[in-house]
Amino acid sequence: MERIPILKMGVFLLVTIQVDMHDRLALTLQDDLTDQIVKHRARGVLIDISTLEMVDSFIGRMLGTIASMARLLDADTVVVGMQPSVAITLVELGLSLKGIRTALDVEKGMAALQLAFAERGDTQDDDS
Protein backbone atom coordinates (compact mmCIF):
# COMPACT_ATOMS: atom_id res chain seq x y z
CA MET A 1 0.00 0.00 0.00
CA GLU A 2 1.30 3.42 -0.95
CA ARG A 3 2.14 5.72 1.98
CA ILE A 4 3.55 9.20 2.39
CA PRO A 5 6.58 9.34 4.71
CA ILE A 6 6.29 11.33 7.92
CA LEU A 7 9.60 12.51 9.38
CA LYS A 8 10.13 13.55 12.99
CA MET A 9 12.18 16.71 13.47
CA GLY A 10 12.37 17.48 17.18
CA VAL A 11 8.83 18.27 18.34
CA PHE A 12 7.61 18.71 14.77
CA LEU A 13 6.59 16.32 12.00
CA LEU A 14 7.48 16.91 8.35
CA VAL A 15 5.33 15.56 5.54
CA THR A 16 6.56 15.99 1.98
CA ILE A 17 4.03 14.92 -0.61
CA GLN A 18 6.02 13.70 -3.62
CA VAL A 19 3.24 11.85 -5.47
CA ASP A 20 -0.14 12.73 -6.92
CA MET A 21 -2.70 12.65 -4.15
CA HIS A 22 -5.75 10.49 -4.56
CA ASP A 23 -8.58 9.99 -2.09
CA ARG A 24 -7.35 6.74 -0.53
CA LEU A 25 -3.82 8.10 -0.09
CA ALA A 26 -5.20 11.25 1.57
CA LEU A 27 -7.20 9.17 4.04
CA THR A 28 -4.16 7.01 4.80
CA LEU A 29 -2.08 10.14 5.37
CA GLN A 30 -4.71 11.50 7.74
CA ASP A 31 -4.67 8.29 9.81
CA ASP A 32 -0.87 7.96 9.76
CA LEU A 33 -0.35 11.58 10.69
CA THR A 34 -2.72 11.55 13.66
CA ASP A 35 -1.05 8.33 14.89
CA GLN A 36 2.39 9.95 14.63
CA ILE A 37 1.25 13.15 16.39
CA VAL A 38 0.08 11.06 19.33
CA LYS A 39 3.08 8.70 19.29
CA HIS A 40 5.68 11.49 19.28
CA ARG A 41 3.57 14.10 21.12
CA ALA A 42 4.34 16.41 18.21
CA ARG A 43 3.59 20.11 18.62
CA GLY A 44 3.60 20.99 14.94
CA VAL A 45 3.10 19.53 11.48
CA LEU A 46 4.64 20.93 8.32
CA ILE A 47 3.09 19.68 5.08
CA ASP A 48 5.04 20.39 1.89
CA ILE A 49 2.74 20.35 -1.14
CA SER A 50 5.16 21.96 -3.59
CA THR A 51 4.92 19.05 -6.03
CA LEU A 52 1.10 19.07 -6.14
CA GLU A 53 0.03 20.71 -9.37
CA MET A 54 -3.69 20.38 -8.76
CA VAL A 55 -6.15 19.54 -6.01
CA ASP A 56 -9.79 18.63 -6.01
CA SER A 57 -12.36 19.51 -3.39
CA PHE A 58 -11.79 16.25 -1.50
CA ILE A 59 -8.04 16.79 -1.14
CA GLY A 60 -8.61 20.41 -0.15
CA ARG A 61 -11.08 19.37 2.54
CA MET A 62 -8.68 16.66 3.72
CA LEU A 63 -5.98 19.28 4.32
CA GLY A 64 -8.46 21.20 6.44
CA THR A 65 -9.48 18.06 8.29
CA ILE A 66 -5.86 17.12 8.96
CA ALA A 67 -5.24 20.59 10.43
CA SER A 68 -8.36 20.33 12.61
CA MET A 69 -7.35 16.91 13.90
CA ALA A 70 -3.81 18.13 14.58
CA ARG A 71 -5.19 21.13 16.48
CA LEU A 72 -7.32 18.81 18.64
CA LEU A 73 -4.12 16.89 19.39
CA ASP A 74 -2.38 20.16 20.38
CA ALA A 75 -0.29 20.54 17.22
CA ASP A 76 -0.14 23.48 14.82
CA THR A 77 -0.18 22.93 11.05
CA VAL A 78 1.70 24.82 8.34
CA VAL A 79 1.32 24.06 4.64
CA VAL A 80 4.21 25.16 2.44
CA GLY A 81 5.01 25.31 -1.25
CA MET A 82 1.51 25.87 -2.58
CA GLN A 83 1.55 26.37 -6.34
CA PRO A 84 -0.43 29.39 -7.62
CA SER A 85 -2.73 27.05 -9.58
CA VAL A 86 -3.52 25.13 -6.38
CA ALA A 87 -4.30 28.36 -4.50
CA ILE A 88 -6.58 29.51 -7.33
CA THR A 89 -8.39 26.16 -7.35
CA LEU A 90 -8.93 26.23 -3.58
CA VAL A 91 -10.39 29.74 -3.81
CA GLU A 92 -12.61 28.77 -6.76
CA LEU A 93 -13.86 25.75 -4.79
CA GLY A 94 -14.65 28.03 -1.85
CA LEU A 95 -12.29 26.20 0.54
CA SER A 96 -10.80 28.43 3.22
CA LEU A 97 -8.53 25.90 5.02
CA LYS A 98 -9.28 27.27 8.48
CA GLY A 99 -6.63 26.54 11.08
CA ILE A 100 -3.86 26.13 8.53
CA ARG A 101 -1.00 28.56 8.33
CA THR A 102 0.82 28.81 5.03
CA ALA A 103 4.38 29.69 4.12
CA LEU A 104 6.29 29.92 0.88
CA ASP A 105 8.85 27.21 1.61
CA VAL A 106 9.97 24.65 4.20
CA GLU A 107 12.43 27.04 5.85
CA LYS A 108 9.78 29.71 6.42
CA GLY A 109 7.26 27.07 7.47
CA MET A 110 9.61 25.69 10.13
CA ALA A 111 10.25 29.22 11.36
CA ALA A 112 6.47 29.74 11.68
CA LEU A 113 6.13 26.50 13.67
CA GLN A 114 9.03 27.43 15.94
CA LEU A 115 7.52 30.87 16.55
CA ALA A 116 4.11 29.37 17.39
CA PHE A 117 5.82 26.85 19.69
CA ALA A 118 7.74 29.61 21.48
CA GLU A 119 4.64 31.82 21.80
CA ARG A 120 2.75 28.99 23.47
CA GLY A 121 5.54 28.68 26.03
CA ASP A 122 5.54 24.93 25.50
CA THR A 123 8.33 23.19 27.39
CA GLN A 124 8.10 19.66 26.02
CA ASP A 125 11.50 18.19 25.23
CA ASP A 126 12.00 16.47 21.89
CA ASP A 127 13.40 13.13 23.05
CA SER A 128 10.10 11.25 22.81
Burial (CB < 10 A; 0-12, 13-18, 19+), residue 73, is middle
Neighbours of 121 (CB within 10 A): 6
pLDDT value at 108 more than 70: yes
Q: Which residues pair with 101 in a beta bridge?
A: 78
State how far the Cα of 51 lies from the Cα of 56, in Å rounded to an integer.
Answer: 15
Q: Does domain 6-117 sit in CATH 3.40.50.300?
A: no
pTM: 0.89
* 126 vs 32: which has the higher pLDDT: 32
Instruction: Spell out the domain ranges in the chain.
Output: 6-117
Q: Which residues pair with 9 in a beta bridge?
A: 12
pLDDT value at 125 more than 60: no
Convert the pLDDT of each residue in 60-98 to its tens digit: 888 889 999 999 999 999 999 999 999 998 899 888 777
